[in-house]
Amino acid sequence: MASPVDFYFDFSSPYGYLGAELIEGVAERQNREIIWRPYLMGVLFKKLGTQPLVFDPTKGAYARRDIVRTAAYLDIPYITPDPFPVASIAACRAFYWLTDKDPALAKSFAITLMRGFYRENRNLSKPEVVVAAAVDVGIDQAEITAALKEAAVKERLRDEVNAVLDRGVFGSPYFIVDDETFWGTDRVEQLEKWLATGGW
Amino acid sequence: MASPVDFYFDFSSPYGYLGAELIEGVAERQNREIIWRPYLMGVLFKKLGTQPLVFDPTKGAYARRDIVRTAAYLDIPYITPDPFPVASIAACRAFYWLTDKDPALAKSFAITLMRGFYRENRNLSKPEVVVAAAVDVGIDQAEITAALKEAAVKERLRDEVNAVLDRGVFGSPYFIVDDETFWGTDRVEQLEKWLATGGW
Q: What is the pLDDT of residues B6-62, one digit of tens each?
A: 999 999 999 999 999 999 999 999 999 999 999 999 999 999 888 899 999 999 999
ipTM: 0.95
Strand bridging mode A5-9 / A174-177: antiparallel
Give contacts of B8 with chain A, Cβ < 8 Å.
none
Counting DSSP H helices and E strands in chain A, the numbers are: 9, 4
Spell out which residues of chain A touch residue B73, defining contact as CB-CB under 8 Å: 190, 193, 200
> What is the DSSP annotation of B104-125?
HHHHHHHHHHHHHHHHH---TT
Contact: A59, B170; criterion CB under 8 Å? yes
Is residue B107 over pLDDT 80? yes
Cβ-contact B11, B91 below 8 angstroms:
yes
Nearest to B58 among A66, A72, A170 (CB): A170
* Separation CA A110–CA A108 (nearest Å): 5
Residue B25, pLDDT score: 97
> CB distance from B72 to chain A under 8 Å?
yes
pLDDT given for residue A94 in this prediction = 98
- Give the pLDDT confidence score for residue B120 in this predicted structure: 98
* Cα distance between residue B134 and residue A124, in whole Å: 58
Spatial separation of the C-alpha atoms in residues B176 and B163, rounded to whole Å = 14
Q: Cβ contacts of residue B128 below 8 Å, gap of 6+?
A: none
Among A86, A81, A111, smallest CA distance to A98 is for A111
Which of B58, B59, B186 has its CB closest to that of A186?
B186
In this predicted structure, the answer to whether residue B1 has a pLDDT above a threshold of 90 is: no
Query: What rounded mean pLDDT belongs to chain B?
Result: 97
pLDDT tens column, A36-73: 999 999 999 999 888 899 999 999 999 999 999 999 99
Nearest CA in chain B to A193: B73
Average pLDDT taken over every residue of chain A: 97
Cα separation, A130 vs A95, whole angstroms: 9
Residue B177: φ, ψ to 5°: -140, 125
Q: Are the beta carbons of A187 and B186 separated by less than 8 Å?
A: yes
Lowest mean pLDDT among A3-17, A101-115, B39-53, B97-111: B39-53
Judge: B62–A186 Cβ closer than 8 Å, yes or no: no
* CB-count exposure of residue B104 (10 Å: 0-12, 13-18, 19+): exposed
In this prediction, residues A138-155 reach a mean pLDDT of 98
Best residue of A47, A50, A67, A69 to probe chain B, by most B CBs closer than 10 Å: A69
- Would you state the pLDDT for residue A1? 74
Inform me whether the C-beta atom of residue B24 falls under 8 Å from chain A C-beta atoms. Answer: no
Query: Which long-range contacts does A154-161 make (Cβ < 8 Å, 24+ apart)?
Result: A154/A93, A156/A93, A156/A96, A156/A97, A156/A100, A157/A40, A157/A89, A157/A92, A157/A93, A157/A96, A160/A37, A160/A39, A160/A92, A160/A96, A161/A39, A161/A40, A161/A43, A161/A92
Q: Which among A160, A163, A165, A185 has a CA at the least distance from the CA of A175?
A: A185
Cα A21 to the center of its chain, rounded Å: 10
Residue A189: what pLDDT? 97
B 38-67 residues with CB below 8 A of A?
48, 58-59, 62, 65-66
Q: A196 in contact with B at a CB cutoff of 8 Å?
A: no
- Show residues of chain B in contact with A70, CB under 8 Å: 190
Q: Which of B187, B192, B195, B197 to mutate to test the interface with A (most CBs of A within 10 A)?
A: B187
Which one, of A107, A83, A79, lies nearest residue A94 by Cα? A107
Tell me how close the Cα of B160 comes to any Cα of chain A, in angstroms: 19
Nearest chain A Cα distance for residue B101, angstroms:
34
- Gap between the Cα atoms of A118 and B131, Å rounded: 53
Q: Domains in chain B, start-ordered, CATH in brackets?
A: 5-197 (3.40.30.10)
A166 exposed, middle or buried (CB, 10 Å; 0-12, 13-18, 19+)? exposed
Q: DSSP letters along A31-72, please?
A: T--EEEEE--HHHHHHHHT---GGG-TTTHHHHHHHHHHHHH
B76/chain A closest Cα distance in angstroms: 13
The confidence score (pLDDT) of residue A187 equals 98
- What is the secondary structure of A93-148 as a DSSP string? HHHHHHHTT-HHHHHHHHHHHHHHHHHH---TTSHHHHHHHHHHTT--HHHHHHHT
Q: How far is B138 from chain A (nearest CA, A)?
A: 38
Number of residues assigned to chain A: 200
Residue of A nearest to B182 (CA): A66
8 Å CB contact between B7 and B177: no
Residues of chain B in contact with residue A49, where contact means CB-CB under 8 angstroms, are none
b/e sequence A36-51, b meaning 16+ C-beta within 10 Å: bbbbbbbbbeeeeeee
